[in-house]
């Protein structure tokens, strides 16, 4: 879908909007943590910035000078035509709300990637306690490249101690609007901003056998169609979003990537199960709509167009994207609803802040989920993944592996190398040798995967996803 260009000069963010740049962070919060699983609001009267008066007088819990807190950032720039990396793109980084305060200027390399850099953020403790000050710093990215329409992203969110991944797609410059740029303003995180509470629904939804989706099994979709507004808002645009990218976006918008791994996995499983329930039951299509899910927190999840994601969340989704939550004798994925547990409470459903407290206490992801949804909930797996040429071989491929699965992987990586030039071309001989390992390492670097040189579950399906994408582009060109 073509994005709408706006005037090159964006409006400045108004003061007093409740969001702050890294330079405006001054107050430090006190530890505010209830018992695991509790959902009542903590004591203390919120101040204008969301922290209680007792919080503002305390010191950071992570023991570091707040001025030392940093987060990492890496930016990827691709061309919309051909999905090729854009080399020599220039990215100017400034504090949001102060466009003249240029922090750094980066240039993409032959892979379309910038180096990973560190930028100031608020202290880690802000993202580990509810009702603290804003836990992320906001930056503005202005991206230009010869022959392409500029893009401006205002309000990108950087958290401490994790890497923010910003993916940018550039359109060819328009002759009719040479002085325009595409401008995207990123709204506040749901744990910090104010959003409508979820309208609670039954966890098992009615189904219709006449729908487009085959209801005999759960299928991981290649894409979901996201309606960027409430269901009844006919003016809101629809976006075709790859399923995994959608889950990563929602998780990055609704939980903090600094949380313990068990809390991140529990929340991602709840997001995936909810989303797959919408897909499986054709919830909106059976109501006459032409989309899969909305970006409204009242009805579904918060999805924010063009927002950055985080490495901890991206890796988790890649590892478990074909999982969902089930109950015995129930075919459909469970509609696992949740709330933050502090601003909004939802008895008998998962509390996001509560899940973090449970993880701090040593609970695993499934223990967290059973704490809220009951002991009968279990993690299920779909072996049917739409748009993928062949399923994972069942065990990792590495140097010394041989056979048809190795040959298929080599064919796909070689085709990808024709588009992403830094990935070396390889022969599809069915033998995983050193040259294949080098190509896999280059692929993993290009697509933000752990650089192991081993084709594990996450790498296999990422190779398949990119191969399908470039094959379709070749068909249409």
Q: What is the pLDDT of residues 298-315, one digit of tens each?
A: 999 999 999 999 999 999
User: Is residue 436 within 8 Å of residue 355, measured between CB atoms?
Assistant: no
CA distance 135 to 46: 16
Model confidence, pTM: 0.85
CA distance 101 to 23: 11
Per residue of the chain (477 residues), give pLDDT as tens.
333 333 333 333 333 333 323 332 222 222 222 333 333 332 222 332 333 333 333 344 445 566 689 999 999 999 998 778 999 999 999 999 887 889 999 999 999 999 999 999 999 999 999 998 999 999 999 999 999 999 999 999 999 999 999 999 999 998 767 778 899 999 999 999 999 999 999 999 987 654 444 457 899 999 999 999 999 999 999 999 999 999 999 999 999 999 999 999 999 999 999 999 999 999 999 999 999 999 999 999 999 999 999 999 999 999 999 999 999 999 999 999 999 999 999 999 999 999 999 999 999 999 999 999 999 999 999 999 999 989 999 999 999 999 999 999 999 999 999 989 889 999 999 999 999 999 999 999 999 999 999 999 999 999 999 999 888 755 544
Q: What is the pLDDT of residues 336-377, one digit of tens each?
A: 999 999 999 999 999 999 999 999 999 999 999 999 999 999
- The secondary structure element, H or E, covering residue 119 is strand 117-120
CA distance 344 to 30: 21
User: Is residue 149 within 8 Å of residue 184, measured between CB atoms?
Assistant: no
Handedness of CA 379, 382, 387, 389 (dihedral sign): positive
């Amino acid at each position: 879908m073509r994005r709408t260009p706006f005037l090159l000069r964006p409006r400045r963010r108004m003061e007093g909007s409740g969001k702050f740049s890294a330079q405006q962070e001054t107050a430090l919060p006190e530890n505010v943590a209830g018992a695991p699983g509790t959902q009542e609001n903590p004591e203390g009267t919120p101040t204008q910035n969301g922290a209680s008066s007792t919080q503002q007088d305390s010191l950071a819990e992570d023991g570091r000078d707040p001025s030392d807190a940093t987060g990492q950032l890496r930016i990827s720039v691709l061309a919309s035509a051909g999905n090729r990396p854009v080399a020599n793109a220039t990215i100017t980084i400034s504090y949001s709300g102060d466009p003249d305060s240029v922090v750094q200027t980066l240039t993409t390399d032959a892979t379309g990637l910038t180096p990973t850099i560190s930028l100031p953020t608020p202290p880690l403790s802000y993202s580990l306690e509810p009702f603290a000050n804003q836990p992320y710093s906001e930056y503005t990215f202005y991206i230009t490249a010869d022959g392409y329409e500029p893009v401006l992203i205002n309000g990108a969110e950087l958290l401490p101690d994790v890497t923010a991944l910003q993916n940018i797609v550039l359109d060819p410059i328009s002759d009719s609007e040479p002085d325009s740029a595409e401008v995207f303003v990123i709204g506040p995180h749901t744990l910090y901003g104010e959003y409508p509470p979820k309208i609670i629904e039954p966890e098992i939804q009615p189904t219709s056998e006449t729908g487009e989706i085959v209801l005999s099994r759960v299928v991981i979709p290649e894409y979901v169609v996201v309606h960027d507004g409430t269901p009844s808002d006919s003016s809101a645009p629809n976006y075709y979003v790859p399923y995994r990218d959608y889950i990563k976006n929602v998780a990055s918008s609704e939980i903090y990537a600094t949380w313990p791994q068990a809390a991140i996995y529990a929340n991602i499983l709840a997001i995936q199960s909810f989303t797959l329930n919408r897909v499986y039951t054709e919830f909106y299509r059976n109501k006459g709509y032409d989309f899969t899910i909305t970006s409204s927190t009242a009805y579904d999840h918060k999805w924010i167009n063009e927002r950055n994601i985080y490495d901890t969340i991206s890796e988790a989704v890649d590892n478990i994207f074909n999982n969902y939550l089930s109950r015995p004798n129930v075919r459909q994925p469970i509609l696992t609803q949740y709330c933050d547990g502090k601003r909004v409470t939802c008895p008998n459903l998962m509390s996001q802040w509560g899940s973090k407290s449970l993880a701090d206490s040593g609970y695993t992801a499934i223990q967290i989920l059973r704490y809220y949804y009951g002991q009968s909930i279990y993690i299920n797996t779909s072996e049917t993944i739409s748009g993928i040429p062949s399923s994972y071989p069942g065990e990792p491929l590495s140097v010394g592996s041989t056979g048809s699965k190795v040959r298929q992987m080599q064919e796909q990586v070689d085709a990808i190398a024709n588009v992403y030039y830094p990935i070396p071309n390889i022969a599809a001989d069915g033998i995983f040798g050193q040259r294949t390992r080098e190509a896999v390492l280059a692929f993993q670097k290009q697509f933000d995967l752990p650089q192991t040189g081993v084709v594990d579950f996450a790498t296999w399906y990422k190779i398949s996803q990119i191969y399908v994408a470039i094959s379709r582009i070749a068909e249409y060109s």
